[in-house]
Chain A
Amino acid sequence: MKTYSNLYIFIYSAVLVIIIATLLSFTAFKLKPRQEKNIEIKKERDILSSFGVVSTAKNAEELFEKHVIKMLVINSKGDILEGDAFTINHKKELEKPADERQLPLFECQLDGQKIFIVPVWGIGMWGPIWGYIALEDDFNTIYGVSFASEAETPGLGAEIDTKSFQAPFKGKKIFDESRKFVSVSIIKGGAPPGDIHGVDAISGGTITSLALQKTIFDCLDSYVTYFKNHDK
């Protein structure tokens, strides 16, 4: 077997690493704008799908501009703040104390009806879960929802991103008759018919279902003051 001097080994590994590092940074640099665009488009599509607008990666931007008329940043006291609602990092905001959070709120228009969209973010069973809740302009009735997860079990917890799980949220109320905030319950074994605050949980996905219920409650809770100030 050929033997190699230590010097050869040092030079060999240094050259190899430099070549590979250059190649990788060049690729990352070249592809970055495209990747960021994809993330942005994904967010726009998620927001659109929460109020039932079906989009593709191609027309998402156009539809988003058409339907989303105002992007607000508010705080838990219901004041409107300065800032760009679209780029707010929800996870970071949730780490702050409740009254320092910057909360994004999207005002949308669909067939002449005003819809308000609240992003939600929380921890599921295996990783983050997030989504968007679309409310009618009474800030009480749910118009639609969209949820997604990073690492929930496929076929079980990950089913929160399916139409069949999300459809029953439509028409549910987040306030009870005495105007108390109750959010939506995700009920294991199925919500009783006529329950205006409850939807069916995913069988086999109980932990994800409960986590989602908590996520929705916690996130909407910060908006309650704004909702109460602005409902009709």
Chain B
Amino acid sequence: MKEKESLFSPRNLKSLTGPLSAGNPVIVLVLGICPTLAVTSQMKPAIVMALSVMAVLSIGNVIISLLRNTIPPRIRIIVQLTVVAALVILVDQVLKAYVFEVSQKLSVFVGLIITNCIIMGRLEAFAMANKPWASFLDGIGNSLGFGFILIILSFFRELLGAGTVYGYPVFEKIGLYSTGYVDNGLMSKAPMALILVGILIWIHRSFNKDLIESK
């Protein structure tokens, strides 16, 4: 009989920590770029987006993993999509009921979690073939990796684009505007997020040389 795997075995830990750096969904796998561009102009919506994705992805992974031996392969994508869509609607409803102001800021992007490639990717690639606990950790790990990038991007975009951090007017308080400094409006626009993602990938790869493809 196979020995029972411990809850935090090296393999399970790897599902949790891998997506933070070497297997990062945004800057290595380049998935989930749409929400990365759309919700990172300010920190608050970025954080709520990260938490919403975490809820959807970890619970979705567990559900699909529990069902994995019963799902007919021919309709597996439909089943995954249905589960994700249901979870996203739940998250949207809960946000509207309990954190109304944030839900207004996120507006359509909550609904668009359904189309986040990270989620379908993890369900199909991981949860369909692994046990619930490992899938749960994989979900948490990937959403942390996603959320981590969202928070870095939104920090710089909000600071340089609007002079605030989490809504707190940093530049105004330190008197930067009186020296003639002007906020960079381009930072608030989606193309700048893409450029920043590129810079992040550059920095990340310069520390992780093995990710650089050989010619």
Contact = CB atoms under 8 A, between A and B. Distances in A.
A155 B75 contact: no
A9 B72 contact: yes
Contacts of A13: 75, 78-79
Q: Chain B binding site: helix, strand, loop or mixed by DSSP?
A: helix
B90 A154 contact: no
Interface in B176-193: 183, 185, 187-189
A151 B107 contact: yes
A12 B96 contact: no
A4 B82 contact: no
A204 B78 CA distance: 44
B94 A12 contact: no
A31 B188 contact: no
B86 A9 contact: no
Q: Interface SS of chain A: helix, strand, loop or mixed? A: helix
Contact of A12 (B72, B83, B101, B188): B72
B65 to A, nearest CB: 15
A155 B100 contact: no
B183 A155 contact: yes
Interface string B150-175: 00000000000110000000000000
B74 A9 contact: yes
Contact of A24 (B71, B90, B100, B107): B90
B206 interface: no
B70 A156 contact: no
Interface string B77-88: 011001100100
Interface residues of A, number: 29
Given A13-B79, A23-B86, A155 B185 contact: yes
Nearest to A155: B188
A206 B151 CA distance: 30
Contacts of A150: 104, 107
B198 interface: no
A156 B185 contact: yes
A23 B83 CA distance: 11
B70 A12 contact: yes
Contacts of B89: 24
Nearest to A154: B41
A17 B42 CA distance: 37
Contacts of B121: none
A89 interface: no
Contacts of B107: 150-151
Interface in A8-47: 8-9, 12-13, 16-17, 20, 23-24, 27-28, 31, 34-35, 38-39, 41-42
Interface of B: 41-42, 70-75, 78-79, 82-83, 86, 89-90, 93-94, 96-98, 100-101, 104, 107, 161-162, 183, 185, 187-189
Given A150-B104, A154-B162, A156-B188, 10 more contacts: A4-B72, A4-B74, A9-B75, A12-B79, A13-B75, A20-B82, A38-B96, A42-B101, A42-B104, A154-B41
14 contacts: A4-B74, A12-B71, A13-B75, A13-B79, A20-B82, A27-B93, A27-B94, A31-B93, A31-B96, A35-B93, A150-B104, A154-B42, A155-B161, A155-B183
